Structure 1
Amino acid sequence: MDTANGELLHREEWNDHLIEIIASDGLRSLFFASRFLQSCMSVNHPERLQLSYTRYMLLGLPALESVQHILIIGIGAGSLIHYCHHHYPESVIDAVDSSPRIITLARQYFMLPEDDRIRIHCADGLAFLEEAAAGRHYDLILVDAFDHEGMAENIYSSPFFRRCSTMLADQGMLSCNLWSGDDHLLGTIRQSIAAYLDGHIFVSVPDRDNAVILAFRQPVPWDRFIRSREEWLELEARFDLDFRTMLKVARNESRSLLQRLFPVFPWS
């Protein structure tokens, strides 16, 4: 069946919520309620991040010295799993989603990678942290837990971020995708994260309603972003991300915090 936006591969009602999967120009997209694009994947290159907010979630990768253990809260179509599995071939990934149906669709339509390095968990994200993941430490925690109504309330909450803070490695990073339509809610979330983690980068994703917050146990290690042009080119090729452009956006949004360091950055 064809739709105005491409070929409709799948449509169903799950728990009174409409889920659609549409194919177009080599891409497969997961929609909630016909309006909310949740994930998008290239069939030929599933490791490439198609949506800009997912790329901004990873703009802090140059600050991480080692990534061996990764936690992903919110599987969706598995874009972040594909990316991390490809770019960190020696890492172990815990991926958590509360919807068994979403996990099944990710397997059926989005080639969800599964091997001895990827552990898929059908569980509430907060409950997973409190029970199954107790005692573990993660170098990278990615939070992208949305449904048709927006951010999952129990995930974007003070108890959740408190648990994240206890499980984040000393040199690790927490990265959260936020929906920026509610300024009061965004402020509450930022305060919750700041209560438990000292370093933060907040970025509004250009031309989207998403925002991203990156958080660290220590103050943001800005010195790790001071690199030569050749080093940036190597990193950008390795991770398939335009770090310098994204960092310019972060600089412009957080100028008061970064004005001491960013003037010496080799942007050209």
Structure 2
Amino acid sequence: MFNEIAVYDTNQLYGEMGKYRFLQFSDDAMQGAIDLKDLSRIVLEYPRAIIHLMEYNNPSFENLFIIGHGIGTIASHYPDRGVTVAEIDEKVVELSKLFFKYRKDNVIVGDGRQILMNEESNSYDYIILDAFNKKGTPLHLTTTEFFEMTREKLNSRGAVIMNLMGKIKNDKLIDAIHSTFRETYVYSKAFSLPGADESDIRNIIVIGSNRTIEFQAREMAGFLEIELGQGHIIVDSDPQFL
């Protein structure tokens, strides 16, 4: 309904030989990967970096809300903590169970913003936004109103972590999302993987909180701290929502 979805097996992933399986949308964007010889291994860099940010800033966190299921990498990593996942495409959930060994029954099918809106206030330590459509991060998950709602759902130590795709320089949408994010959260940091050129499209991780944010560079799976530019503030009444 939402994307053409493919599941591939391959003997090489990003130049590393082995036995891998990954899930991909029609725009060639990889949504998750597993090492078939070591299912406990987290293959992709961005979930490893997100896990470090969560555990370093709040090692005893208990409750996590994730928008965007993929193959369930982060949710699977925490079998003994309270994890709620929102995924708009039930086919993604089905494939995660059929091909990627996802075993938990904690995914709610539907729009992540609507599902989160119905959650209790002050109930989460972290909210992770890892949702994509053909145009990138869904715009209704990037507005001032959405970020204010996330703040209401987090406890006093809580933080929002976003996985975005874009350029680190002169990317109007990335700059706008980050600037809008900073309107809600006092502290924020942004990270990206290195690239050959500033115009390369890459994963960008943004974290925001009303408490200071710490990290250890050697544990960030290759992600480096970056400074993003100033952009416009995105609101629900923008023309693209009408």
Q: Deviations over 1:130-177 (max 9, x none)?
A: 12x133511122110012332122223322211111111212221100
Give matches, 1:60-99, under 5 Å. Answer: 60=53, 61-85=55-79, 89=80, 91-99=81-89
For residue 243 of structure 1, what is the amino acid of its counterpart? E
Instruction: Please report how far the alpha carbon of residue 36 of structure 1 lies from its aligned counterpart in structure 2 after TM superposition.
Output: 1.8
What is the CA–CA distance in structure 2 between the aligned matches of 1:113 and 1:67, rounded to whole Å?
A: 22
Residue 200, structure 1, aligned to residue 200, structure 2:
no
Give SS of 1:151's match.
coil
Structure number with higher helix proportion: 1
Instruction: Please report how far the alpha carbon of residue 242 of structure 1 lies from its aligned counterpart in structure 2 after TM superposition.
Output: 4.7
Give matches, 1:103-252, under 5 Å. Answer: 103-114=93-104, 119-131=106-118, 133-135=119-121, 137-181=123-167, 183-207=171-195, 209-220=202-213, 222=214, 242-243=218-219, 246=222, 249-250=224-225
Give SS of 1:154's match.
helix
2:34 paired residue number: 41
Q: Deviations over 1:2-36 (max 9, x none)?
A: xxxxxxxxxxxx45x32110012321111111622
Instruction: Please report how far the alpha carbon of residue 245 of structure 1 lies from its aligned counterpart in structure 2 after TM superposition.
Output: 6.4
For residue 129 of structure 1, what is the amino acid of its counterpart? L
What is the CA–CA distance in structure 2 between the aligned matches of 1:77 and 1:185, rounded to whole Å?
A: 26
Instruction: Please report how far the alpha carbon of residue 45 of structure 1 lies from its aligned counterpart in structure 2 after TM superposition.
Output: 3.2
For residue 96 of structure 1, what is the amino acid of its counterpart? A
Which of 48, 51, 70 is matched with 1:55 structurally?
48
What is the CA–CA distance in structure 2 between the aligned matches of 1:79 and 1:176, rounded to whole Å?
A: 15
What is the CA–CA distance in structure 1 between the aligned matches of 2:60 and 2:142, rounded to whole Å?
A: 26
Once the two structures are overlaid, the 10-residue window that deviates more, 63-72 or 41-50, is 41-50
For residue 203 of structure 1, what is the amino acid of its counterpart? F
User: Any conservation in 1 of the 2:46–2:221 contact (CA below 8 Å)?
Assistant: no
Structure showing greater relative contact order (alpha-carbon pairs closer than 8 Å, 6 or more residues apart): 2
Which of 17, 27, 32 is matched with 2:25 structurally?
32
Give SS of 2:139's match.
coil
Give SS of 1:206's match.
coil
What is the CA–CA distance in structure 2 between the aligned matches of 1:136 and 1:108, rounded to whole Å?
A: 34
What is the CA–CA distance in structure 2 between the aligned matches of 1:173 and 1:246, rounded to whole Å?
A: 21
Larger radius of gyration: 1
Instruction: Please report how far the alpha carbon of residue 125 of structure 1 lies from its aligned counterpart in structure 2 after TM superposition.
Output: 0.6
What is the CA–CA distance in structure 2 between the aligned matches of 1:100 and 1:165, rounded to whole Å?
A: 27
Query: Which TM-score applies when normalising by structure 2?
Result: 0.78
Query: Which TM-score applies when normalising by structure 1?
Result: 0.71
- The alignment-based identity, stated in percent, is 19
Structure 2 unmatched ranges of 5 or more: 12-18, 196-200, 228-242
Shift in alpha-carbon separation, 1:245–1:82, aligned structure 2, 3 A: closer
Computed over aligned residues only, the root mean square deviation of the Cα atoms, in angstroms, reads 2.4
